[in-house]
Structure 1
Amino acid sequence: MQVNQKITFFVPDFQNPIETSFITSEIKAGFPSPAADFEESKVSLDHMLIKNKEATFYAKASGNSMIGAGIDDGDILVIDRSLEPRNNAVAVCFIDGEFTVKRIKKTDEAIFLMPENSNYTPIQIQPHNEFIIWGIVTYVIKQIK
């Protein structure tokens, strides 16, 4: 079984949120609007990205097994432990003493942890595995290279 995804967890700091400027009008990814006016307000990303404060954690992903899902090495995952696991959700799972992030695939016969990189094989959960779906990934924060 190849897990190959190290995850480092962080707890959001709600006591000291950092508010930054937020442009409330849309920013076009196509052709720019000439002389577009914009309104600016303040926003805390913690408040935008986190719905369940007591059950949400950040984690730093390591590895490339989920590149097809947009999760690259070094990305920050926002994980909500209060959400119910569902088929095809991207989840942080604990299997046999290791954390991994994979897509959940449930069939009538089994549960699989599906990588999003063809260099990795799916992990079929067996009765002997110690297995917990730890939380559901709700957002990925990444640095543009």
Structure 2
Amino acid sequence: MGRKKLVKKEDVLKAIRNWIMHNGLPPTVEELRKELNVGSSRTVMRYLEQLEESGDIVRWPGSRGIRLRRTLEGGIQTTSVPLVGDVTAGMLSLAEEYVEGWLRLPIAFTQPQSAMFFLLRVNGDSMNKARVEGGTIEDGDLVLVRQQQIANPDDIVVALVDGEVTIKRLRKAPGYYILQPESTNRKHQPIIVNEEFQVQGVVCRVIKKGLSIIEQFSET
């Protein structure tokens, strides 16, 4: 029998980093198996479990759920979060073709760790008076969204209405909901919806001057 290939922790981390740098997204287990040149996906899963236990990665649901943790100067641990760019009409999706890139954010921003998060670029001024953690929500900012299908009244939500994605404050009224803009621009009007509208997530933080964060917390 041939000797089993010895793969070190550092080898697995390097393979994950290299894959993200060259492909712009995390590898699947099968892709990582081929990258490491090992014979079994179960072996890769064991490596990933060890890395998760040591705090080097976080695993989210989905085939590309590997998130690298990194410690910046000052001891700040970070994790990678997908950036969904300019959203067009249709269901908001984190499928590969809709993800513009992956940005690193402090782990403190993405709690609880069991939740899934994504970043969304703000288009327009319909919520420029709304304040969340990090400031007001203005055109060009990035908002950090906790992915979920249920929201509470007064949450700022990412909602799908008539095939289009919108960011608004959720209000509850007898028999219907209101998606309320909070803007200095009076052209933005409340949207009245029934219970069939879809919540895609809840906004939990704004990243000001959105694109500049790429330089600070990039995957490369």
Fold-level similarity (TM above 0.5): yes
Partners of 2:160 and 2:138 lie apart in 1 by 19
Q: Deviations 1:11-32 (Å, cap 9, x if unpaired)?
A: 998634443234xxxxxxxxxx
Aligned pair count reads 116
| Paired residues for 1:114-125 under 5 Å | 114-117=180-183, 118-125=186-193
Sequence identity (%): 26
Mean CA deviation greater in 60-69 or 46-55 = 46-55
Distance 1:47 1:14, change over 3 A: farther
Which stretches of structure 1, 4 residues or more, deviate above 4 A after TM superposition?
Answer: 10-14
Structure 1, unaligned runs of 5 or more: 1-9, 23-40
Aligned to 1:87: 153
Partners of 1:14 and 1:47 lie apart in 2 by 14
1:106 matched to 2:172? The reply is yes
Aligned to 1:65: 126
- The answer to whether the Cα contact below 8 Å between 1:80 and 1:138 also exists between their aligned partners in 2 is yes
More helix by share: 2
Q: Deviations 1:93-132 (Å, cap 9, x if unpaired)?
A: 01111101000000124200000113310000147xx620
- The answer to whether the Cα contact below 8 Å between 1:94 and 1:134 also exists between their aligned partners in 2 is yes
Cα offset for 1:46? 3.9
Partners of 2:141 and 2:108 lie apart in 1 by 18
1:50 matched to 2:116? The reply is no
What value does the CA root-mean-square deviation take over the aligned residues?
Answer: 3.0
Structure 2, unaligned runs of 5 or more: 1-24, 27-59, 79-104, 131-135, 211-220
2:118 partner letter? F
Partners of 2:68 and 2:144 lie apart in 1 by 18
- The answer to whether the Cα contact below 8 Å between 2:69 and 2:77 also exists between their aligned partners in 1 is no
1:135 aligns to what SS in structure 2? strand
Partners of 1:101 and 1:66 lie apart in 2 by 8
TM-score (norm. length: structure 2): 0.46
TM-score (norm. length: structure 1): 0.67
Cα offset for 1:42? 3.0
Q: Which has the larger radius of gyration?
A: 2
**Larger relative CO (CA 8 A, sep 6+): 1 or 2?**
1
Partners of 2:110 and 2:73 lie apart in 1 by 18
More strand by share: 1
Mean CA deviation greater in 132-141 or 75-84 = 75-84
